[in-house]
Amino acid sequence: MDIEPTFSKTNPTAGVVGQPMSRVDGWAKVTGRATYSAEYSGLPGLVHAVLKTSDVAHGRVQSIDVSAAQRAPGVLAIFTHQNLPKLAKTPNSPDDRKAFVSSPMGFFPMESDQIFYAGQPVAVVVADTLERAQYAASLLKVSIVPEATISSYLDPKAQLYTPKTVKGMPGVTKRGDAQEAFAGAPVQLTATYTHATIHHNPMEPGATTAHWEGPNRLTVYDSTQGVSETQKTLAAMLGLATEQVRVVCKFIGGGFGCKAWVWPHTTLAALVAKAVGRPVKLVLTRPQQFTSMGHREEQAQTLRLGATREGKLLALIHDKSSTTSPWDDYAETNTRITNMLYALPAFEGTYHLAHANVMTSTATRAPGDMPGAFALESSMDDLAYQLGLDPIQIRLLNYADKDPSNGHPWSSKSLKQCYQRGAELFGWNQRNPKNGQTRAGKTLVGWGMATASYPVHNSQGNARVRLYADGHAVVQAGATDLGTGTYTVMTQVAADSLGLPPENIRFELGDTDLPSTQWSGGSTAAGRVSSSVYLAAQDVWQRLIKVAVQDNKSPLYRAKIEDVMVVKGQLLFRTDPDTGEAFGEVMKRAGMSDIEGSALGRYGSSYEAPRAAANADPNKKDHASEHSMHAFGAHFCEVHVDPELGTVRVTKWVSVIAGGRILNPKTARSQVMGGSIFGIGAALMETTERDPHLARYTNADLAGYHIPVNADIPDMTVEFIDEHDPYVNAMGVKGIGEISIVGTSAAVANAVFHATGRRLRSLPMTPDKVLAAMREPV
Amino acid sequence: MVSDLFPTPENTSEPQPDSNARRSFMKQAGGILGLALAPPLVAQAERLTAYSRTIEGATDLTLRINGQTRTVRAEPRVTLLDALRERLDLTGTKKGCDHGQCGACTVLIDGQRVNSCLTLAVMVQGKEITTIEGLAQGDELHPMQAAFLKHDGFQCGYCTPGQIMSGVACVSEGHAKTDDQCREWMSGNLCRCGAYANILAAVREVASKG
Amino acid sequence: MNDFSYTQAASAKEATGIIKEKPQAAYIAGGTTLLDMMKANLLEPPQLVDLNQLPFKGIEQTSDGLRIGAIERMSTVGEHPLVVQQFPAVSQALLLAASPQLRNMASIGGNILQRTRCGYFRDAAFPCNKRVPGSGCPAIAGDHHNLAILGVSDSCIATAYPGDLSVALAAFDAVLTLENQKGKQRRVPITEFYLLPGKTPQRENVLESGELIVAVTIPGAAHARRSTYLKVRERSSYAYALASAAVGLDVQNGTIRTARVALGGVGAQPWRSREAEKVLTGAPATEATFLAAAAAALQGAQPLEHNRFKVELAQNTLVRALQQVA
């Protein structure tokens, strides 16, 4: 195809895409019939594996006394570093690790006696029932000779260094001479922002059920955001061919980044299942969840912002210090957003890491952009106050008409509309420009806002459409639905692409036997999978047009293929849209019960936009890769701060997001509210405390680690800006899962500042910090 | 504190002299009623014998779940949650924390919402247990399930069975009369996807149709 | 969890008899504290004795006050009209605790016996003097932001009772009825029930081995009818208190005739403050009085680096609570 089809071209009239359809998987979820990875109870001879983890954070295993556990009833096997079957390839070898698609740490436990972090697995117990496995694990006597422990980058023993790269980005980024520009700036702001360790805590803990159906045939039911990545990584680790491993994940109880990778427990489940010759189920306990699937690292960011007296930014110097594991140079890439969000002539960003006795941190909803936006959007708020400008005004003053980090034009950007609509919905023009002025009873009331942005990450994947002559279709892609609505929105896309009612579509996902596609992560799934589904449907039509034009009974007989178009399932002449016939007629005459099409869909700059864009000139180098692609948005927040009790309650919330085509406003609204609530949690209550001497978490459960409850959350308003982006993909879709959290904690902090006149720069803003701030002079 | 969240002297009726007696009578009647719904003689007989001895090791426990009598072989340490999920193939009830800190495992016992992760199966013999699988009548959803579907009261779906069971109880307790009251009394069920506003809408809608 | 045996006791005598034979056996009523700890391998009783058939029930008016059976559930008691009307602070303390589900399960006796939420106690991987006497207290040099500032010792800084009910009970002079293995009952004021950690933080209360909590009796009083429970926490619900205050005032013509004050979340035990009551009694019901009372209540505070804020927070919480009932 020279001209790649785009949804907006082939579906000019409204269908079910863009309609607030209820979730197609909703019935299964509200009746308890949705099957999650620990719920394949029908497997023959299924047994239970339980992890035993290290008490101490650093040391060497001296001995593990298994005798009592071995005698315990129901125990089938106990694995330690001394008898665990060897991996074919291991993350512990940097060369081996290159073979992995999705391994989040340069370390795999139980391959030696070394202990690097508290909670590191030291043994796996397999028994016939869960209770027996758990009890036997408690009987293991593990002796570890402790060694000196470093608890975080704040530990006096920690040594900060600047890595060469973090997540593929340079450890130091320079654009212009930021130091000089800052030194010469008439207005200078310097501030340091700190973040606690945060855990994703999906409601479903990590869970794996591993079933060896033959010596070289493994099926794994895993709570993973990417079945394909898990399949390829497990195959490499276990020394199997990719097709010998099947990974299934039909339902996943939340992920938020922590289930985007293959963590040790999944591989351990597969290893021990093979060794005991039975299907094995391994589910992390909630405390184990805190030390098994990564976290958002604790960090400090210092921002030095230089501006003109009118409020135009001149320079930004951004330093981030954070904790990483003993083996990896991992940090969230906070400077990505600080380098691109505003028209900024000079930028310098530097990462400082310290190795500590903690597992590698990992992607957590909007990695880097979320904390980066907290620092930047708080600083912008400070700048606005210092110069007597409205917070929206300072942002408009520094509005970036192109991406300052690379000079590229935006593929689309509707941020001004987000500010405007958000302000309208919130009633922002009623805002008192002075802070600390509004009271409601004993509380101080404040309003704050912040900008949101999240990039379009390149990704690609396949989909397959099987259309039946009777007007039904099965549509497949090996994607996952994290609760984001993938099942539903792909059903809508398929319905419109095929001209069928959505109830005639069955969309299947979550299985490596289906066409491969990448993970649900980085807000890529909606754009990628919808494009591949749409293009697979176009492939069906192309195949069917070929059948029709060779059929002498068809009104399209002998037509040129390019002269035929398909509108709502009707094959029609482009020049004479009244002539043609329904696809079912073609198929029936040809004796075809069904026809299949498939396609590769691309998201981001690898999408062949010039061939897709309207009126594209094939000679003009208008490549998608020459555009900067981001979703944008704005969050508005009202808080009530009790200055004596130190409590902060969010009482009103408005989010307006420009995320390209919104496939389903109902599920999209839910997703944006969810991201905002995740951000409110980080802003006000979430922190995992690690003992500063023992480097072990002291609140690793859901009583000690507070995620927001229903009573924390007010009415929320979410709207979307109608945005058409021809460059991002065939559907014009940008992801919204992550932008929904970016800027949220700054919106809350800015509202607290407006309420109290006190700037809180340390998250979470718990009562102790609010009280301390209230003691400071305004 | 906000007055509509909890009972106050102002909104609690003056106790009648016999209110205690009446209360305990009603409680007893509820218990008898609960038994009457079960096959009465068998359940009662088992209850009496089962309770008169010490139970040790795996034994056959008789549980009344969603109107059916189910037998499960389990040790006394087996929680109701693990009995449902690991032994009775009733996996709709979810395990989120296993320590009463999240509410994903919420079921009704004699109509009251409880955390099944902190409930021993052996201790709920003779009681009426309702799980998410027991709410719908065939293909007809319970109004709370339908309201969750309508208002998109979930995303990943993992906390959803617990939220729905809690919502059913919240309405029957009379704790969903205002938005704030409903938020407070639905706060024993965590939702990490952040569906709270939609959960509130669903529970309030069912309560208003009361 | 270990594999225990289970017995439903038909009588108190049978229940205490089992513990007499097997001192490591444990009572269970609601199970919300016990099973939680057993799952964390903090307790491994060989046998559980179910108390739910014992006649420790009912909420009734007696000549000593309102008598609440120890196996009544938190939800029942919290919403009972007699409790709501005579002891608003007790009702509120119950209904602000835990979650609706847990309140349906947890018994009054069990609530009184709940254990600290100190993360070092809850995780057997840590040393902890309360759990393993002599092993040390890493909380003192570690994470103690939500631990106690009153009544603490060098051995332990836990808020041994992390809950709410006993704070209100301590304020309003509740008396526990206990029954020992010989069937003998004794009455212990709740203010004398809990023990300060001192050098023996493993000993948390005066219960003898096998002794049962039968009932709690709260004497009615004007200050109890005009009472409230204010709880400050890190999220709006389903969280333990950073600081809480149970207060009751009998105010006539602007003068405080009698006052009751207890603090939660800040003491090594539910913290009855007779110092604050002394300031309040006979004084005008004004903010100045309340501030003075709050200062008196926190006079002996021994905060550490990360829980120093609790001094101010507890004072402010107390002042706010007093303002609400004045």
Domain coverage including residue C66: 59-111+165-218
CATH number, domain at C82? 3.30.465.10
Task: Check: CB of residue A108 under 8 Å from CB of residue A87.
Answer: yes
Burial class of A328 by CB neighbour count within 10 A (0 to 12, 13 to 18, 19+): buried
Q: Would the CA dihedral through C170, C175, C176, C181 be positive or negative?
A: positive
User: What whole-number distance in Å separates Cα of residue A148 and Cα of residue A521?
Assistant: 37
The reply to whether A220 falls in a domain is no
User: What whole-number distance in Å separates Cα of residue A543 and Cα of residue A548?
Assistant: 9
Residue C178 and residue C29 share a domain: no
162-201 in chain B: CB under 8 A from chain A: 164, 179-180, 182-184, 186-200
In terms of CA atoms, which chain B residue is nearest residue A712? B183
Distance linking the first and last C-alpha atoms of chain B: 27
The reply to whether C159 falls in a domain is no
Interface test with A, best of B95, B130, B139 (most A CBs within 10 A): B95
Task: Check: CB of residue B161 under 8 Å from CB of residue B104.
Answer: yes
Longest Cα pair distance anywhere in chain B, in angstroms?
A: 52
Tens of pLDDT, residues A129-145: 999 999 999 999 999 99
Tens of pLDDT, residues C266-299: 999 999 999 999 999 999 999 999 999 999 999 9
Q: Do B184 and C237 touch (CB under 8 A)?
A: yes
Neighbours of chain B (3+ CB pairs under 8 A): A, C
Chains A and B form CB pairs within 8 A to the count of 186
Residues of A with CB under 8 A from a CB of C: 55-56, 73, 118, 131, 134-135, 138, 287, 442, 644-647, 649, 684-685, 689-694, 696-701, 703-704, 706, 708-712, 766-768, 771-772
Q: Do B106 and C52 touch (CB under 8 A)?
A: no
User: What whole-number distance in Å separates Cα of residue A557 and Cα of residue A546?
Assistant: 10
Q: Would the CA dihedral through C90, C96, C98, C104 be positive or negative?
A: positive
As for the ipTM of the complex, it is 0.98
The reply to whether A12 falls in a domain is yes
The percent of residues in chain B predicted with pLDDT above 90, rounded, is: 73
Q: Do A711 and C237 touch (CB under 8 A)?
A: yes
Task: Check: CB of residue A658 under 8 Å from CB of residue A637.
Answer: no
Q: Do C120 and A698 touch (CB under 8 A)?
A: yes
Task: Check: CB of residue A196 under 8 Å from CB of residue A764.
Answer: yes
Burial class of B143 by CB neighbour count within 10 A (0 to 12, 13 to 18, 19+): middle
Residue C294 and residue C195 share a domain: no
Cβ-proximal residues to C162 (8 Å cutoff; 6+ apart), any chain: C114, C115, C116, C117, C240, C241, C265
> CB-CB: which of A33, A703, A713 is closest to B92?
A33
Domain boundary among A568, A603, A638: A603
User: What whole-number distance in Å separates Cα of residue A499 and Cα of residue A488?
Assistant: 16
Residue holding tokens 């919104």? A662
223-282 in chain C: CB under 8 A from chain A: 232, 234-240, 242
Q: How distant is the Cα of B13 from the closest Cα of chain C, in angstroms?
A: 7
Number of domains making up chain A:
2
Domain boundary among A539, A568, A603: A603
Neighbours of chain C (3+ CB pairs under 8 A): A, B
Q: Would the CA dihedral through A567, A572, A573, A578 be positive or negative?
A: negative
Which residues face A460 on adjacent strands? A602
Residue C300 and residue C254 share a domain: yes
Tell whether C208 is within 8 A of chain A (Cβ): no
Tell whether C42 is within 8 A of chain B (Cβ): no
The reply to whether C148 falls in a domain is no
Q: Do B187 and A710 touch (CB under 8 A)?
A: yes
Per-residue confidence (pLDDT) for residue A623, from 0 to 100:
58
Q: Which residues of chain A are within 8 Å of residue C119 when distances are taken between CB atoms? A: 689, 697-700, 704
Residue C185 and residue C214 share a domain: yes
Q: Do A712 and C316 touch (CB under 8 A)?
A: no
Length of chain B: 210
Task: Check: CB of residue A142 under 8 Å from CB of residue A123.
Answer: yes
Which residues face A47 on adjacent strands? A280
CA angle B31, B34, B37 (to 5 degrees): 150
**pTM metric for this prediction:** 0.96
Residue C63 and residue C48 share a domain: no
Per-residue confidence (pLDDT) for residue B18, from 0 to 100:
42
CATH number, domain at A726? 3.30.365.10
Q: Do A692 and C237 touch (CB under 8 A)?
A: no
Q: Which residues of chain C are within 8 Å of residue A696 when distances are taken between CB atoms? A: 123, 125-126
User: What whole-number distance in Å separates Cα of residue C222 and Cα of residue C156?
Assistant: 37
Interface test with A, best of B65, B89, B139, B156 (most A CBs within 10 A): B156
Residue C213 and residue C227 share a domain: no
The reply to whether C142 falls in a domain is no
Both tokens assigned to A66: 């298994």
> CB-CB: which of C1, C82, C105 is closest to B77?
C1
Residue A659 and residue A578 share a domain: no
User: What whole-number distance in Å separates Cα of residue C143 and Cα of residue C131?
Assistant: 17
Tell whether A709 is within 8 A of chain B (Cβ): yes
> CB-CB: which of A36, A669, A702 is closest to B102?
A702
In the DSSP assignment, the letter for residue B120 is B
Would you list the DSSP string of A390-431?
A: -HHHHHHHTB-SB-TTT-PBBS---HHHHHHHHHHHHTGGG-
Tell whether C79 is within 8 A of chain A (Cβ): no
| pLDDT tops 90 at residue B10 | no
The reply to whether A26 falls in a domain is yes
| Pick from B30, B42, B51: nearest CA to B124 | B51
Number of domains making up chain C:
3
Domain coverage including residue A521: 7-34+459-603
The reply to whether C155 falls in a domain is no
User: What whole-number distance in Å separates Cα of residue C24 and Cα of residue C115?
Assistant: 17
Residue C172 and residue C106 share a domain: yes
Both tokens assigned to C304: 């550490």
**Annotated catalytic residue A689:** no
CATH of B143-209, one of 1.10.150.120, 3.40.50.720, 3.40.50.700, 3.40.50.150: 1.10.150.120
Domain boundaries, chain B: 24-134, 143-209
User: What whole-number distance in Å separates Cα of residue B12 and Cα of residue B8?
Assistant: 6
Task: Mark the ranges of chain A whose per-residue pLDDT is less than 70.
Answer: 1-4, 608-625
In terms of CA atoms, which chain B residue is nearest residue A705? B101
- Tell me if residue B65 falls in helix, strand or coil: strand
> CB-CB: which of C3, C124, C239 is closest to A706?
C239
Length of chain A: 778
Residue A471 and residue A445 share a domain: no
The reply to whether C158 falls in a domain is no
Residue C260 and residue C190 share a domain: no
Residue A754 and residue A640 share a domain: yes
The reply to whether C145 falls in a domain is no
| Pick from B111, B100, B97: nearest CA to B165 | B111
Amino acid symbol at A283: V
**Cα–Cα distances in angstroms (integers) from residue A339 to residues A178, A400, C257, in the given order:** 11, 11, 65
In the DSSP assignment, the letter for residue B79 is B
User: What whole-number distance in Å separates Cα of residue A207 and Cα of residue A36?
Assistant: 9
User: What whole-number distance in Å separates Cα of residue C210 and Cα of residue C221?
Assistant: 33
Interface test with B, best of C38, C99, C122, C244 (most B CBs within 10 A): C99
Residue C48 and residue C84 share a domain: no
Interface test with A, best of C128, C237, C238 (most A CBs within 10 A): C238
Domain boundary among A603, A635, A656: A603
User: What whole-number distance in Å separates Cα of residue A338 and Cα of residue A23?
Assistant: 36
| pLDDT tops 80 at residue B12 | no
> CB-CB: which of C10, C85, C101 is closest to B166?
C101
In terms of CA atoms, which chain C residue is nearest residue A765? C234
| pLDDT tops 50 at residue B177 | yes
Per-residue confidence (pLDDT) for residue A733, from 0 to 100:
96
Q: Do C320 and A710 touch (CB under 8 A)?
A: no
Residue A470 and residue A452 share a domain: no
Q: Which residues of chain C are within 8 Å of residue A697 when distances are taken between CB atoms? A: 119
Which residue intervals of chain C are DSSP H helices? 12-21, 34-39, 74-78, 81-86, 88-95, 100-105, 108-112, 119-122, 165-171, 190-193, 222-225, 274-280, 287-297, 309-325
Tens of pLDDT, residues B132-148: 999 999 999 999 999 99
Q: Do A254 and B104 touch (CB under 8 A)?
A: no
Per-residue confidence (pLDDT) for residue A622, from 0 to 100:
52
Both tokens assigned to A34: 């949705």
Residue C278 and residue C235 share a domain: yes
The one catalytic residue in A297, A332, A348, A738 is A738
What is the average pLDDT across C214-225? 98
Q: Which residues of chain B are within 8 Å of residue C104 when distances are taken between CB atoms? A: 112-114
Task: Check: CB of residue A484 under 8 Å from CB of residue A522.
Answer: no
Per-residue confidence (pLDDT) for residue A624, from 0 to 100:
59
| pLDDT tops 90 at residue B51 | no
Tell which phi-psi region holds residue A585, choosing left (phi > 0), alpha (psi between -120 and 50) or beta. Answer: alpha
More confident residue, B19 or C186: C186
Q: Which residues of chain B are within 8 Å of residue A129 when distances are taken between CB atoms? A: 86
Backbone angles phi and psi of A183, in degrees to 5: -60, -35
Calculate the dihedral angle through the C-alpha atoms of C58, C61, C63, C64, rounding to the nearest 10 degrees: 70
User: What whole-number distance in Å separates Cα of residue A686 and Cα of residue A699?
Assistant: 11
β-strands A505-508, A473-476 pairing: parallel
**Cα–Cα distances in angstroms (integers) from residue A171 to residues A154, A166, A319, A336, in the given order:** 20, 6, 10, 12
Average pLDDT of chain A to the nearest whole number: 96
Q: Do A26 and B77 touch (CB under 8 A)?
A: no
Tell whether B102 is within 8 A of chain A (Cβ): yes
Tell whether C293 is within 8 A of chain B (Cβ): no
User: What whole-number distance in Å separates Cα of residue A345 and Cα of residue A445?
Assistant: 36
> CB-CB: which of C52, C81, C237 is closest to B12?
C81
**Cα–Cα distances in angstroms (integers) from residue A459 to residues A374, A456, C147, in the given order:** 27, 9, 48
- Architecture of domain B24-134 in this structure: Roll (3.10)
The reply to whether C133 falls in a domain is no
Residue A526 and residue A488 share a domain: yes
CATH number, domain at C305? 3.30.390.50
Q: DSSP E strands: which ranges in chain B?
A: 54-55, 59-65, 68-74, 106-109, 112-115, 128-130
Per-residue confidence (pLDDT) for residue B30, from 0 to 100:
33
Tens of pLDDT, residues A153-177: 999 999 999 999 999 899 999 999 9
Residue C64 and residue C43 share a domain: no
Residue C263 and residue C190 share a domain: no
User: What whole-number distance in Å separates Cα of residue C315 and Cα of residue C265?
Assistant: 12
Calculate the dihedral angle through the C-alpha atoms of B147, B153, B155, B161, rounding to the nearest 10 degrees: -70
Residue A523 and residue A631 share a domain: no
